């Protein structure tokens, strides 16, 4: 059974199709998975119109014309996960932070691994920029969408950063 009030659409992107889920005017999920890979209860009905603003902003981001998203978000997670995800939104476009940095910023100085786990559960890929979190030594580690996608997103922001 599909959740009432939820809608989804598939948005094309250079990193593959993104499944975008919303409800009541808020964004619930941006997944780097096709709808068939997600729980049908999460998706709701298919509606490109309901997700049009998110699709437009994602298109602008991938075109290098948008550095921040202006969408109402409603991620679901523990208090710690919500704190981590909020901290991710504070990482400036085109910049990175280490897992340890994010852990200290949310008041858990020894919590780099917990930050990594929270990043892995981020329901709003790209919009909540978990791709901007890297290893303490600058290495690309720990990205649920795969390291080639993480590298693409970071490179995109480095190239486009010169435009803003």
Closest CA to 50 of 85, 20, 82: 20
C-alpha distances in Å from residue 66, one per residue of 56, 139, 147, 164: 10, 26, 22, 9
Which of the residues 88, 105, 126, 130 is marked catalytic?
130
Beta carbons within 8 Å of 83's beta carbon, 6+ residues apart: 106, 107
Does the active-site annotation cover 130? yes
Instruction: State how far the Cα of 132 lies from the Cα of 118, in Å rounded to an integer.
Output: 14
Strands 6-11 and 45-46, sheet pairing: parallel
User: Which residues belong to the active site?
Assistant: 130
């Amino acid at each position: 059974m599909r959740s009432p009030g939820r809608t989804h659409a598939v948005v094309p992107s250079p990193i593959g199709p993104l499944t975008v889920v919303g409800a009541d005017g808020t964004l619930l999920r941006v997944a780097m998975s096709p709808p068939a890979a997600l729980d049908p209860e999460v998706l709701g009905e298919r509606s490109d119109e309901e997700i049009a603003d998110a699709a437009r902003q994602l298109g602008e981001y991938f075109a290098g014309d948008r550095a921040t998203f202006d969408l109402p978000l409603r991620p679901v997670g523990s208090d710690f996960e919500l704190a981590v995800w909020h901290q991710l939104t504070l990482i400036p476009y085109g910049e990175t932070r280490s897992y340890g940095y994010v852990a200290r910023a949310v008041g858990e100085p020894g919590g780099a691994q917990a930050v990594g786990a929270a990043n892995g559960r981020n329901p709003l890929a790209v919009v909540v920029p978990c791709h901007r979190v890297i290893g303490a030594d600058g290495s690309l580690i720990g990205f649920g969408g795969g390291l080639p996608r993480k590298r693409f997103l970071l490179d995109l922001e480095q190239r486009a950063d010169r435009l803003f």
